[in-house]
Chains A and B, each alone.
Chain A
């Protein structure tokens, strides 16, 4: 278990403010946020590589705030692998051997297990210069897990990899987490990674934690504009609430429920908005608007349609095929519809 209380760091240029976080033993926890949010600094503070100004870090009941890195039993895996270039794969993996207090048999067993799971057998005598990104990252994982740390910190372990390897390492991470008691704490700026790997997550921005909770909860019920935007709720409007409705300037949105506040925000995912050329005849969607297409943005497999309704711009996603079938062009008149339940209020 990791407990972080009121943590502040002391660095020139960048600082963490009042970080409070609690991570259960054996959990797969993800720290998310844009570049420069302080995710890596927080990891390095837990690993003991960044000076702490105030606050406490407690791992499995042990206050480690003032311990040197080698006494913390915290493993770290970086995005750029950081293998020791002068040592072979095997020497890298067994680097921490001599600092272990367990019996040799256990170490041998663990080595065998890790090398098997991570498919490294044929690479053991190679030097890191000759390995691919995926192989390097697998070695780095084996090296960190070899010392059986209480906590494994992963700093964007997938982002430097080719897409093919990324999938592979992601599955290995899942398998490794399932087969060990180690708590995994991973930093990423990719929400899809978080969804596929983690139980719980925290979103950080500018040295602060914005929201902590189950990944799905963060995804569906962001508590701030920042988080809503970060998790892809691209339709975000300041509104005033009245009864079960929200008013964004002249546009009225049915929420199907009452808000606790007078003013606030509504947020809506682009994929929850359905676009059609004719007015939907009967539908369960309680919100339907007539709009004008003001922008079509090619996103590869999808197109993002920007449509103006009153003075709001709604963003919606459609497939390439629907784009042609509906014959949507800039200036075209379309209908936008979405369910009251799809609207998130905060």
Chain B
């Protein structure tokens, strides 16, 4: 047997530290509340409402990102145009901007001092402290994740497949639905889940725009501030379980496809 070099052991030890750093706190969190505490949290109307609101708003955010983002993702995957780098840069902005700043930025557009805000007010649409506001914020933070995943999916499809389809008489729209979509749906679904997962975990941006109605992360924060660690844990566990199930679906979908024989 060859002797392992010291570098090998450095890699192994650093790896273990990283694993522990991520897994240990989560493990402690998940095992801290008692089963009765968890059950009680489920019966707590406020908790249930906040968790449902989280799922509901994240779901809408993902759906709207899908509808609005797909054409842009396709455009970015297929065409080169002037200012493409700028567009790509703008898309990535939500990832690097601090989350509370996102909330403040959105408020500065929908407030009374902006014509868009006044127009919305006239239409009777309230953003501040409303579900609409939460969804708007979640789209803001989640959209880049959908765009990246969908774009990558489109880029993996040879443009020649689309060319052949068109030479056979199919229009651009027809080609998209018969060729591109069936081949890219997996990436698009991954994008939707990434977007939803990102949205469901958002706190900083939401809390600026809408403290009430309360999504789960805000409720967890409130319980922690008001009653302490012990009271925030059961809600946190439920939220983590939701996030984990999303994560497992994601992992399952992105498994390398087994070659059919």
Q: A interface vs B, CB < 8 Å?
A: 12, 44, 47-49, 68-70, 72, 74-76, 78, 80, 82, 84-86, 95-96, 99-100, 127, 129-130, 143-144, 146-147, 149
Kindly state the separation between the CA atoms of A149 and B166 in the bound complex, as whole angstroms: 12
Kindly state the separation between the CA atoms of A68 and B172 in the bound complex, as whole angstroms: 9
Residues in B162-219 with C-beta less than 8 Å from chain A: 163-172, 178-179, 182-183
B158 CB–A CB distance under 8 Å? yes
Kindly state the separation between the CA atoms of A149 and B80 in the bound complex, as whole angstroms: 30
A47 and B163 within 8 A (CB): yes
> Given A86-B182, A129-B260, A130-B261 in contact, is the A49-B169 Cβ separation under 8 Å?
no
Contacts of B80 in A (CB 8 A): 12
Kindly state the separation between the CA atoms of A12 and B179 in the bound complex, as whole angstroms: 27
Task: Please name 6 pairs of A and B residues whose Cβ atoms are closer than 8 Å in the assembled complex, sorted by A.
Answer: A69-B167, A70-B168, A72-B167, A75-B167, A84-B164, A99-B170
Contacts of B93 in A (CB 8 A): none
Kindly state the separation between the CA atoms of A86 and B158 in the bound complex, as whole angstroms: 13
Q: B interface vs A, CB < 8 Å?
A: 80, 158, 160-161, 163-172, 178-179, 182-183, 259-261
Among B165, B168, B170, chain A packs the most CB atoms within 10 A around the CB of B168
Which residue of chain B has the shortest Cβ distance to A140 in the bound complex? B164
Contacts of A149 in B (CB 8 A): 167
A-B contact count (CB 8 A): 67
Kindly state the separation between the CA atoms of A70 and B182 in the bound complex, as whole angstroms: 20
A84 and B179 within 8 A (CB): yes
B160 and A96 within 8 A (CB): no
> Given A127-B260, A129-B260 in contact, is the A80-B169 Cβ separation under 8 Å?
no
Kindly state the separation between the CA atoms of A1 and B150 in the bound complex, as whole angstroms: 42
Kindly state the separation between the CA atoms of A234 and B167 in the bound complex, as whole angstroms: 40
> Given A82-B160, A84-B179 in contact, is the A143-B168 Cβ separation under 8 Å?
yes
Contacts of A70 in B (CB 8 A): 166-171
Among B80, B160, B170, B179, chain A packs the most CB atoms within 10 A around the CB of B160
Kindly state the separation between the CA atoms of A84 and B162 in the bound complex, as whole angstroms: 9
B260 and A96 within 8 A (CB): no
A96 and B163 within 8 A (CB): no
Contact of B259 among A76, A129, A146 (CB under 8 A): A129
Contacts of A49 in B (CB 8 A): 163, 166
CB of A68 to closest CB in B, whole Å: 7
A96 and B170 within 8 A (CB): yes
Among B163, B165, B172, chain A packs the most CB atoms within 10 A around the CB of B163
> Given A12-B80, A82-B158, A85-B183 in contact, is the A147-B168 Cβ separation under 8 Å?
yes
